[in-house]
Structure 1
Amino acid sequence: MTDTAETTAPSRRAQLKFVLVLGGLSAFGPLSIDMYLPALPRMADDLRAADTTVQLTLSAFIVGLALGQLVLGPLSDAFGRRRPLLVGLALYVVGSVLCAMSPDAWLLVAARLVQSLGAAAGIVIARATVRDLFSGTAMTKFFSTLMLVTGLAPILAPLIGGQLLNWTSWRGVFVVLTAFGALLLAVVLFAFPEPSSSRSPARLGQVMRTYGRLALDRSFAGYALASGLLFASMFAYISGSSFALQGVYGLSPQAYSVVFGVNGVGIVLAGQLNGRLVGRVRERVLLRAGLLLGVTGGALVLVAAVTRAPLAFLLVSLFLLVSSIGLVMPNASSLALASHARSAGAASALLGVLQFVIGAVATPLVGLGGPGTAVPMAATMAGFAVLALVAYLTLAREVTS
């Protein structure tokens, strides 16, 4: 069997099970990052720590998420998906318990690092498992279905966290995350079969050669950079929109939450539209359309920020850019993984790491102009959207038979 061979799609009942399980695994990142954000001020007071120290809990999680994917992706190619996933889920549960029990901020930072290494297993192995189970348009359709979860999780996580704080402390948020991890651990242990039959060596030299081969694959690099750079535009939105919309345009926290939620729904709707169009429209065409939509939205956001256009103009522009994620991510992921069935774990790891590393570069740029302007955020969003389109056009080549 070659890397591009077609796989037999699971039954509809099995697909529903995989959507729920893989969707839950994909949600680890946004849930673990966003659910506790409303509690950061309380955590600083409770632990008698500086705000910057408590914010390191977020940085530690993102670093662990990136490093964990680089390690666990190739391990899942060597030992199958189940065993590394079970180890990762157990590590996540342990890390979550340590977070809930941490007596000071620095121990909490360390516990978040442990938690993130476990979360990385869920994210990277979920994406690789999709490649094991599907190929061609079926794979793209499934990635589009997963956008229901990956789009809704960032919307619901802060709302759930905020509601939890009405009747429990920030430690209770981590107790809920512990329960979530334990539930998925039980499901994977008792009801999740090993989806992959092929294996690749786990020797360090072989792993490094695999990463090198992937990095030098122009098509893979084009798809990975296109998704990673557009995701960085999304990172800029997440990190800067609250300051821009509340500080510059005067939105209340409640109104900002509504705007954030509507944009998240845009991702979901675009993802479902993509799922309906795949098969009738080629993935590359849909990917190009999503990137062009992102560039258009980014350019309009920049125009709105520079000219201080009415709020409605800015909101529509933001919706266009954020919604483009729902078109770009399923197609870019599917096309990037299509020719790498035997190294799907390593390929999935590089896809995920690029998203977080480039996003980490984009995040500090949004605050360069100070709190009184939305121009740095808009310029960062527009710039990374343009770079995403350029990466696709210059690197991603169509493979012909």
Structure 2
Amino acid sequence: MVKAEPSNCQPLEERGVRRFGFLAALAWLMAVAAISTDLYLPAIPSMALGLRETPVTIQLSVASYLAGFVLGQLGWGPLGDSIGRRMPMLAGLALFVAASAGSALSISGEAIIAWRLIQGIGASACAVLSRAVVRDLYSGDDAARVLSTLLAVMALSPLLGPLLGAAILDFAGWRAIFWTLAVAGIISAYVVLKQIPEDRIERTGTAISRYTKTYVEIATDVRLLTPLAVGASFYAGLFAFLSASPQIFMVAFDFTPGAFASLLAFGTFMVIISNLINARVVRRVTHSRALTVGALIGCVFGLGSIGATALMPGDARVLIAALMGFMISGGFIVGNSVAGVLEFYPRAAATASGLCGAVQFLAGLAGSLAVSILFDGTALPLSLVLGTAGITMLIFTFLKRPGDEPVA
């Protein structure tokens, strides 16, 4: 088993970096990666019409982007640990810009799907390496606090993305959305050059294969079982909610599109607030304890959603209360779980970050697939997934052993 290595964290001031500019840069980079998922969602019907494809074909580009995002994290991690953070970030952004331009110039649905796969691979570089940069500069509870703050900002992306995409669509058409992403990628490259500090952890030029082997060592490190499993369980519930909620609320409960959008906006607001609360909580308690609090909240409201569906199937208000409670748990889970994984591997933080991100998204896809297979027109399948996720979270928080503390 790989042992925890001494931390290489250096104060920002020693690296000639201003705290606000640094955090703003990381927030921007993570937001661009997130907003690329849903900025063009309002344009799917227009894209299908313009390319003479079915909407289902264009929707496959969403899945291809997510597939690229998962695969890319597994690749950028070892590369970032081998040669440093900034160059892989810039390489990923070059792919992102090229794929955005390719999407804008596409003349078929197949081309869009292919370019979106490449776009996801490029975007994942900023996501995985931004988390690694946080670990380079912060450790333990400080890292959890910074990650929670960044996640609170990033949570605005799903809310603002479709609104901004709709505005661009009305003003300049669907191709302009991808040109906008290309410009955002160019701005991101400038941000990396100006605000992301040079990696000062000594690199020996070791072959990437060494870091690839580290994946096996990290994946089999029992100390990481709790943060990985708790974070993955939350993502399974989150993706299940995002997949099933349109049918549940707009069909079963007859919500208008506007009312459903308001529900999603409120859920996003809950995530933002809980992340900001967590950033303050970890000033007083450890991120490990805050993670346990999040798991408890998730379990209570996950099981609560089952009760709401079973006892009051026609009452949307009780179900919404349970769902919002589950969303709140994410503020205490995501940042703390990532910090818990990265804490043990300061010299392989990008590899650990890539594994963590890939596991989270794969669990999310599994949750989405499960609720889709079980869907029967009611909220029961979603509630079962949420309840299972909540129980899993709580079980794994009790598997942490007294000796599983990282070396500072």
Asked if 1:388 is matched to 2:393, the reply is yes
Q: CA deviation at 1:305?
A: 2.3
Asked if 1:107 is matched to 2:111, the reply is: yes
**d(CA) in 1 for partners of 2:303, 2:49:** 41
Aligned-pair CA distance for 1:376: 1.2
| Cα distance in structure 2, aligned partners of 1:364 and 1:338 | 31
SS of equivalent residue, structure 2 residue 336: helix
Match of 1:348 in 2: 353
Residue 121 of structure 1, aligned match among 108, 120, 125:
125
Instruction: Please point out which of 191, 200, 225 is paired with 1:221.
Output: 225
SS, match of residue 194 in structure 1: coil
Identity rate, percent: 30
Q: Is the 8 A contact 2:92 2:123 kept in 1?
A: yes
- Is contact 1:198-1:342 (8 Å) kept? no
**Are 1:148 and 2:143 counterparts?**
no
| Residue equivalent to 1:82 | 86
Separation in 1, partners of 2:39, 2:297: 29
The worse-fitting range, judged by mean Cα deviation, of 171-180 and 305-314 is 305-314
Displacement of 1:5:
3.0
Pair 122,237 (structure 1): closer, same or farther in 2 beyond 3 Å? same
Q: Secondary structure at the match of 1:214?
A: helix
2:180 and 2:253 map into 1 onto residues whose CA distance is 35
Q: Which residue of structure 2 lines up, in the alignment, with residue 163 of structure 1?
A: 167
Matches within 5 A, 1:170-209: 170-199=174-203, 203-209=207-213
Q: Which runs of 5+ in 2 are unaligned?
A: none
Matched residues in 2 for 1:181 and 1:396: separation? 43
Moved more, 28-37 or 188-197: 188-197
User: Are the counterparts in 2 of residues 77 and 344 from structure 1 also a CA contact under 8 Å?
Assistant: yes
* Bigger mean CA deviation after superposition, 323-332 or 380-389: 380-389
Alignment partners' CA distance in 1, 2:310 and 2:376? 15
Separation in structure 2 between the aligned mates of residue 350 and residue 396 of structure 1, nearest angstrom: 22
Whole-Å separation in 1 of the counterparts to 2:142 and 2:65: 32
- Distance 1:82-1:282 versus aligned 2 partners, 3 A rule: same
1:311 aligns with 2:313: no
Provide TM-score, normalisation by structure 1. 0.94
Q: How many residues align?
A: 400
Alignment-derived partner of residue 37 in structure 1:
41
| CA deviation after TM superposition for structure 1 residue 341, in Å | 0.4
Q: Which moved more, 1:387-396 or 1:210-219?
A: 387-396
Relative distance call for 1:265 and 1:367 in structure 2 (3 A) is: same
| 8 Å Cα contact 1:81-1:129 kept in structure 2 | yes
Shift of 1:52: 2.7
Out of 223-232 and 366-375, give the one that drifted further: 366-375
Is 1:246–1:256's contact at 8 Å kept on the other side of the alignment?
yes
CA contact under 8 A between 2:21 and 2:195: conserved in structure 1?
A: no
Task: Report the secondary structure of 1:166's partner residue.
Answer: helix
- Per-residue CA shift, 1:340-397, capped at 9, x if unaligned? 0010010000010001111111112223354621111221122123223323333666
Matched residue SS, 2:171: coil
1:287 aligns with 2:288: no
List structure 1 runs of 4+ shifted beyond 6 angstroms: none
Q: How far apart are residue 202 of structure 1 and its match? A: 5.0
Counterpart residue type for residue 261 of structure 1: A
Q: Aligned pair in 2 of structure 1 residues 398, 164: CA closer, same or farther (>3 Å)? A: farther
Closer, same or farther in 2 for the Cα pair 1:202/1:305, shift >3 Å? farther
Deviates more, 1:196-205 or 1:264-273: 196-205
CA contact (8 A) 1:229 1:385 kept: yes
Aligned partners of 2:384 and 2:230: how far apart in 1?
Answer: 18
User: Which position in structure 2 is the counterpart of 1:323?
Assistant: 328
Following TM superposition, by how much is the alpha carbon of 1:30 offset from its aligned partner in structure 2, in angstroms?
2.4
Deviation digits for residues 74-110 of structure 1 (CA, Å, limit 9, x no counterpart): 1010110011011111110111011111010001111
Q: 2: CA distance between counterparts of 1:201 and 1:397?
A: 36
Report the RMSD for the aligned CA atoms in angstroms. Answer: 2.0
Q: Which whole-Å deviations, capped at 9, do the CAs of 1:304-349 have from their partners, x for residues lacking one?
A: 2233152221111111101111111111111111110010010000
Q: TM-score, normalised by structure 2?
A: 0.93
- Determine if contact 1:199/1:342 at 8 Å carries over to the other structure: no
Aligned to 2:7, which of 5, 8, 17? 5
1:247 offset after TM fit, Å?
Answer: 0.9
Pairwise CA distance, 1:63: 1.1
Q: Which runs of 5+ in 1 are unaligned?
A: none
Write the distance in 2 (CA, Å) between the matches of 1:22 and 1:151: 14
Is 1:263–1:322's contact at 8 Å kept on the other side of the alignment? yes
